[in-house]
Amino acid sequence: MIDEHRSRSVTRADVARYAGVSTAVVSYVLNNGPKPVAVLTKERVLDAVRVLGYRPNAAARALSKGSADMFGLVVHDNRSPFFAELCHTLDQRGTQAGRSLLIVNSDRTQADTAEQLRDLASRQISGLIISVALTASEQALVESLRLPTVVIGPFGETDALPAVSVDLAAGTRAAVEHLIEHGYQDIAFVGSAARYDARERGWADALSAAQLKRGLLIHTSFTYEGGYAAGVRLAEASPRPRAVFAASDQIAIGMLAALRERGVRVPEDIAVASFDGITAADYVWPRLTTAVQPLDQIADAAISVLLNPTPDPGLREFVPELRVRESCGCTPGRD
């Protein structure tokens, strides 16, 4: 009998017959409701599911419920160490809430972001997470989809959408103030030229508060290659800055490679602090002093917005924690 079932797709009716219950009871067990099921009955149903190898049809469930148990996530590039860790954390938190995660990269050349948003909506997702910059027309499209939506990150004009972010300026100020406490006065900045990136403002504010002039300003991409190119410029600068703040750990790691190749010692010749708190920051040398984004809190807040949508958009903002290591000139022990 079991072999006969396994020779074709096992249905919910098969499970019901095997367990001696109605298909409605099977549905209550698999969906945790809406009606309670006696413990022994539930065990019979779950045993039938295991024996028969039953796998619920996700598409059919989505049709019956009106949405899938799945959130859509749009990021620029999940190969980025920070976004890889963000995706992983969101996936963990989503799983705990009974949702899977469908990830789309907006840097794909075969489809623009608007097409990707429409494609995600067509899959009957139950919520949308956006961690890319949206144009005005893309934001209008998101609003027209009428899906629970949350924006992660400070991505421009998204006031009409709920958002979860970190205070980039505050995290940067803390890192730059720490460099100033070391006595460094000529502090460079390496980061994005994007108008919504507040890290550059945080750097400038910290220097202004300490009555220091702005140091060398280098705009580059948030990549290892961009950091490497910036490191070459720093090594060849005359005079060379005594310290530098990098807007991401990925940039900083690329910088470390370029500086090392050119015989520039960190922190003896140039001190480094950065932003994000990716895992790799603790495994390069010198280890990076960095403003750590609280990914667990960000993910929890984002998932909460999707599970409990409200008509009024708002911003939940977290303050990064400065994690001090050796790249700035400190000598802390390993945690």
Domains of the chain, CATH where assigned: 2-56 (1.10.260.40), 67-161 (3.40.50.2300), 168-294 (3.40.50.2300)
What's the confidence (pLDDT) of residue 145? 87
Unique residue bearing structure tokens 């400038």: 204
- Exposed e or buried b per residue across 299-331, where buried means at least 16 C-beta atoms within 10 angstroms of its C-beta: bbbbbbbbeeeeeeeeebebebebbbbbbbbbe
Q: What is the pLDDT along the chain (335 residues), one digit of tens a residue?
A: 444 444 457 888 899 999 999 988 888 887 777 788 898 998 998 898 888 888 766 545 544 554 468 899 999 888 899 999 999 999 999 988 888 999 988 875 556 888 888 888 888 898 999 998 888 888 889 988 889 999 998 765 566 889 999 999 999 999 999 999 999 999 999 998 876 689 999 999 999 999 999 999 999 999 999 999 999 999 999 999 999 999 999 999 999 999 999 999 999 999 999 999 999 999 999 999 999 999 999 999 999 999 988 877 788 999 999 999 999 999 876 55
Name the nearest CA neighbour of 323 among 277, 280, 270, 286. Answer: 277
* 42 CB-contact burial (10 Å; exposed 0-12 / middle 13-18 / buried 19+): middle
What's the confidence (pLDDT) of residue 7? 43
What's the confidence (pLDDT) of residue 34? 75
In terms of DSSP bridges, do strands 127-131 and 163-166 run parallel, antiparallel, or are they unpaired?
unpaired
What's the confidence (pLDDT) of residue 84? 94
Q: What is the rounded distance in angstroms from the CA atom of residue 199 to the CA atom of residue 173?
A: 8
Q: Please spell the DSSP secondary structure of 115-141, one letter per residue.
A: HHHHHHHHTT-SEEEEES---HHHHHH
Unique residue bearing structure tokens 């730059």: 176
